[in-house]
Amino acid sequence: MKILIELTYYRPHTSGLTIYAERLAKALAKRGHTVTVLTSQFDKSLARDEMMDGVHVVRLPVLLRISKGVVMPSLGRMATRLVKEHDVIHLHLPQIDAAGIALRGRIWKKPTVITYHCDLRMPWGIMSWLANQGVHFMNNLAALFTNRIVTYTRDYADHSPYLRRFKRKLQIISPPVELPEIKQEAVLQFARLHNPLNQHPVIGMAARFASEKGVEVLLNAMERIRGALPNAQVWFAGPYEHIMGEEAYFERLEPAIRAWEQAGAWTFLGSLDPVEMAAFYPNIDMLVIPSLNSTEAFGLVQIEAMLNGAPSIASALPGVRQPVLRHGMGKVVPIGDAQALAEAVIEIANHPSKYHSDPQTIGKIYAPETIAIEYEHLFQEIADEIQQHGKKH
């Protein structure tokens, strides 16, 4: 198949959505498909046209930005050409441009699939509100034109206002998860660098420093955690300074974080590349996902941690709670409840063997090749439906 994937941001931009798209694109290319990614040239230093791991990446110039969205004047012309040239259209939402491409898929009778990653919540402000309304409107149009909408879990679909409108089009497919292989010496070196005194438990958090991630919930739990576990420390992996729209949030929490840093209980690791993340997970005793709203739909990092034997503590958000509930590796705590989070950390630290499962079994479920095969079957199913419909008319 010739598969066209369209999304606003692609690698090297880092987010759960871009990581998902890259893993799936690479897996489909490895299985012999011709895969093209149509995306934005969000950084002018990026090539407009290049091959990345067998995937053809086409980046379009950005004229201006509206909050996290971009305006690309050449998108319409390029989308028309590429839709005609490809067999299947795969769109990643939320984004504002998908409706026009989904309409092109409908016009030229190309199987069109949306993968819906999460509900959208913009920062406060009139421009953000207007952008939010525009994205919601265009996402609804895209859903009307598309053949299927993929989401990670039935749990999230049942609670998403967007997905509940289109239940007859829904398809549940787990997200692709993988980590690069890494030598034991690299894992030990990571430990020597960041934990020279070998103090435990190490509580990992892997996220952007953003208000919806619930960093303050972990902060508010720290006094209780350190009271019961004097050597406990947090490793925060991910960007944390100068995050667009999150500067005030960081400034508000920074004094408390710096105090814990001084006490040796908090370390910012910064953005880690995939190899560094592969060394991060074996060195933590547990992962926490204290997210606060539906902009988090699953938390791929939970599966990455579980593949390395680290259980997860997740807030009871639809979708986010599913990795723990599915695999029994960790605990689910009420949203925003710092006391419950602290007690869960203490429980897992004191009884780690109760919260383990077989990483190999989990890995097979989320292997990118496994997920790529599920998408192949879905693409073919839609193609057969379109062909049958054409025969009837």
pLDDT tens-digit map of 314-352: 999 999 999 999 999 999 999 999 999 999 999 999 999
- pLDDT value at position 75? 95
Predicted TM-score of the model (pTM): 0.88
| 71 pLDDT higher than 60 | yes
Using alpha carbons, list the distances in angstroms from residue 222 to 55, 225, 292, 325, 341.
44, 5, 18, 25, 9
Give CB contacts under 8 A, 24+ apart, made by 37-40.
Answer: 37/5, 37/6, 37/7, 37/10, 38/4, 38/5, 38/6, 38/75, 38/78, 38/79, 38/82, 39/6, 39/7, 39/8, 39/9, 39/10, 40/8, 40/9, 40/70, 40/72
Query: How does residue 99 score in pLDDT terms, banded at 50, 70 and 90?
Result: very high
Percent of the chain exceeding pLDDT 90 equals: 81
And the tokens for 41? 């040239």
Q: Mean pLDDT for the chain?
A: 93
| 104 pLDDT higher than 80 | yes
End-to-end Cα spacing for the chain: 25
Average pLDDT over residues 152-180: 94
Helix, strand or coil, per DSSP, at residue 252: helix
- DSSP summary character for residue 295: T
- pLDDT value at position 68? 72
Contacts of 133 (CB under 8 A, 6+ apart): none
User: All domains of the chain, ordered by start, with CATH?
Assistant: 2-176+367-392 (3.40.50.2000), 184-365 (3.40.50.2000)
